Amino acid sequence: MTELKGALIGCGFFAVNQMHAWNDVDGAEIVAICDRDPERLKIVGDQFGIERRYSDAEALFSDGGFDFVDIATTVQSHRPLVEMAVRHKVAAICQKPFAKTLADAKAMVAACRDAGVTLMIHENFRWQTPIQAVRKALDENAIGTPFWGRFTFRSGYDVFSGQPYLAEQDRFIIEDLGIHTLDIARYILGDVLSVTARTKRVNPRIKGEDVATILLDHESGVTSIVDVSYATKLSKEPFPETLIELDGTEGTIRLTQGYQLEIANVHGTRSFDVSPKLLPWASRPWHNIQESVYAIQQHWIDQLRHGREHSTSGADNLKTFALVEAAYDSAARREPVDIGAMF
């Protein structure tokens, strides 16, 4: 198969996973990288043997020679870089969080649509092996019609050592991590009508909230809870596992710590080990996330080749990003927020 050529912008902490995954993806090759920090450019360029290196994204696009761009920078640069991709008519993957505001994210989707440029948000958590297993059980009607759900991520893991900027932001856990949990809730139980949220900051050394409890009313009539915390010190650290409870008319699904899936219904109780693979370049406990990075990047190539919509297209991810904004708004006003009114 001829390989699609890609360029990666932003050679920081997480991009190393994306570069490893690109090496594994069938049908893709990274031909150029860009970072405004010369040290990061050299580290990643040398590690992955990439000769074409740029400190300026405009220069990268002007030279061209690639079919897609993988934007792995932090949120401030997402809108300008996606708009640059649009001007140069290059298909783009953009890391989460989509943008600083929903208005920016909507403008990015509109610009891509008008220019006929494909946009996918790198929302990888729904691609994790255990999350896919839960979705498969529901699709196979293992518990009938779900009527209640809980999506929980509670941890005391030190994410600030690898990503120090997370301690400096006014908004922390919902924008950084809860965004994934909200996306999983949408992926499993469908789109959302309204959001009610409460937030807290427990760690005095950070600026934003590190605990959030969010109630979702899904269009299907299901109620779910998304609860996330980076202030929860457990005897056995679960990072970075999302745990799930689903109650349905015919049974229950429980995804518990240690990647164990339990399905109880009229046929009895069945347990499955749904652990992610430890890819050769991966390391625990990140291997769950790292495997999903490979999965979403392979999906990007497969769909791009066939001109098919991506699972986390820009248009799809607007609906997840709206939940992030709604959660902050609801917590600030202590009122439910109507999602329909945001579109």
State the residues that interact with ligand 89Y by CB under 6 A. Answer: 159, 163, 176-177, 180, 240
**Minimum CB distance to ligand 89Y, residue 122 (Å):** 9
Q: CA nearest 98: which of 117, 114, 115, 82?
A: 82
Residue ranges in 260-289 that form contacts with ligand NAD under rule CB under 6 A: 289
159 binds, among ligand 89Y, ligand NAD, none (CB under 5 to 8 A by kind): ligand 89Y
Q: Does 82 bind ligand NAD (CB under 6 A)?
A: no
177 binds, among ligand NAD, ligand 89Y, none (CB under 5 to 8 A by kind): ligand 89Y
10 binds, among ligand NAD, ligand 89Y, none (CB under 5 to 8 A by kind): ligand NAD
Interacting residues of 131 by C-beta distance below 8 A, sequence separation 6+:
125, 184, 187, 188, 242, 244
* Rounded alpha-carbon distances, angstroms, from residue 195 to 159, 209, 234: 27, 17, 28
Instruction: Give 175 or 316: the residue with its C-beta nearer to ligand 89Y.
Output: 175
248 binds, among ligand 89Y, ligand NAD, none (CB under 5 to 8 A by kind): none
The one among 3, 13, 247, 264 contacting ligand NAD by CB under 6 A: 13
Q: Nearest 5°: CA angle at 292, between 151 and 302?
A: 125
75 binds, among ligand 89Y, ligand NAD, none (CB under 5 to 8 A by kind): ligand NAD
Strands (E), the chain: 4-9, 28-34, 52-54, 68-71, 91-95, 119-122, 146-154, 192-200, 211-218, 223-229, 243-248, 251-256, 260-265, 268-273, 337-338
DSSP symbol at 242:
P
The one among 6, 7, 8, 11 contacting ligand NAD by CB under 6 A: 11
Distance CA(215)–CA(185), nearest Å, equals: 11
Distance CA(253)–CA(245), nearest Å, equals: 6
Q: Which of the stretches 34-42, 126-134, 265-273, 311-319 binds ligand NAD when contact is defined by CB under 6 A? A: 34-42
Closest-CB residue for ligand NAD? 12
The residue to which tokens 């990061």 are assigned: 40
Distance CA(120)–CA(98), nearest Å, equals: 10
User: Which residues would be at the binding site for ligand NAD (CB under 6 A)?
Assistant: 9-15, 34-37, 40, 57, 72-75, 77, 95-96, 122, 124, 163, 165, 176, 289
